[in-house]
Amino acid sequence: MTLFADWQNDMVWQTMNERIEHLLEQARAECFRFGSKPATTIGYDELEKFAELIVQECMRMCEVAQVGYLTHGLEKEASGAFSVKQYIEEYLGVEE
């Protein structure tokens, strides 16, 4: 692996960590809005909402991949992205 690849990998993780932090803040805010605990604490409701948001984000990314593959005429790959989204939806029990 080259130095550039290491740097690029670090950037991907940093971006992903920022997105996860954003989802956690969104979960806290949503639970606080509906009368749960203060926005600074993390309880069961917040963790459950956080997990739900992560799963929804994964499903959304499958849709993005599917459209990208279809745009480039890669039907087999698009079908795979669709199948992964369905699997997530079915087995993790989260709806969009």
Tens-place pLDDT, residues 20-64? 778 778 777 777 666 655 555 667 777 788 888 888 888 999 999
- Predicted local distance difference test score (pLDDT) of residue 2: 44
The tokens of 49 are what?
A: 């909402």
Residue 10 has pLDDT above 90, yes or no: no
CA 42 vs CA 32, 36, 39, 50, 91: distances in Å: 10, 10, 8, 10, 25
- The answer to whether the Cα torsion of 74, 75, 81, 85 is positive or negative is positive
Return the percentage of the chain with pLDDT > 70, whole number: 68
The residues near 78 (Cβ < 8 Å, ≥ 6 apart) are 65, 66, 67, 69, 70
- Predicted local distance difference test score (pLDDT) of residue 9: 54
3-state secondary structure of 44: helix
